[in-house]
Amino acid sequence: MSQDSIEDREGDRDPIDFARRFANSETFRNLFREGMTLVEETASYLDGPGRSESKELSRAGSLVYATESMRLTTRLMQLASWLLLQRAVNEGEMTQIQAGLEKSKVRIEGPNSSRAGPGWDETPAMLKELIDRSIRLQERIKKLDAAIYADEKPEAGLNPVANQIDLLTSVFRRQD
């Protein structure tokens, strides 16, 4: 190894941001395609075979179907919003900071499936599969989100409101 390459490596001490690198990778593009495909599959199922299957369910089964399909579509729309925001960053349409501000409107925690109770056993297998796939996608996106936006979260113990109250209290004490 030459002296120049050793000096170059020593001068480059910034840590590699694996999360941001991942977000710009082929792996992210695959995740994006997977998410959008799941949205399309779910819409096709709920508008087609799912509609027919739901008509054959008992009252309890119909209630579970309606509740779970609503949770599923809500979850997928939130995940799709997150994926679209990140893609906009990757394509230079917005900065990571702008995406972080917009991301506050997106709830990737989302509603979870109950997966139990009266009527759950009647839930069509395809709906259960879509729910499971969406939850797995949600978990992957939550981990990626935490890694990408980790440095933007406020430090533990810091409370901006408490800091302002302390500042006001100290100002008023000085006037007494």
Record the pTM. 0.72
Per-residue pLDDT tens for 131-167? 999 999 999 999 888 887 776 544 445 566 666 666 6
CATH class name, domain 16-152: mainly alpha
Tell me the average pLDDT of the chain.
81
| C-beta contacts of 95-99 below 8 A and 24+ residues apart | 96/20, 96/148
SS3 letters across 7-59: HHHHHCCCCCCHHHHHHCCHHHHHHHHHHHHHHHHHHHHHHCHHHHHHHCCCH
Confidence (pLDDT) at 162: 64
Would you kindly state where each structural domain of the chain is located, as residue ranges?
16-152
Burial class (CB in 10 A: 0-12, 13-18, 19+), 83: buried
What sign does the dihedral 76-77-81-82 (CA atoms) show?
Answer: negative
| C-beta contacts of 5-11 below 8 A and 24+ residues apart | none
Confidence (pLDDT) at 23: 62
Question: In angstroms, rounded to a whole number, what is the distance separating the alpha carbons of residues 84 and 78?
Answer: 10
Phi and psi, residue 168, nearest 5°: -65, -40
Residues of the chain with pLDDT under 50: 6-7, 153-156
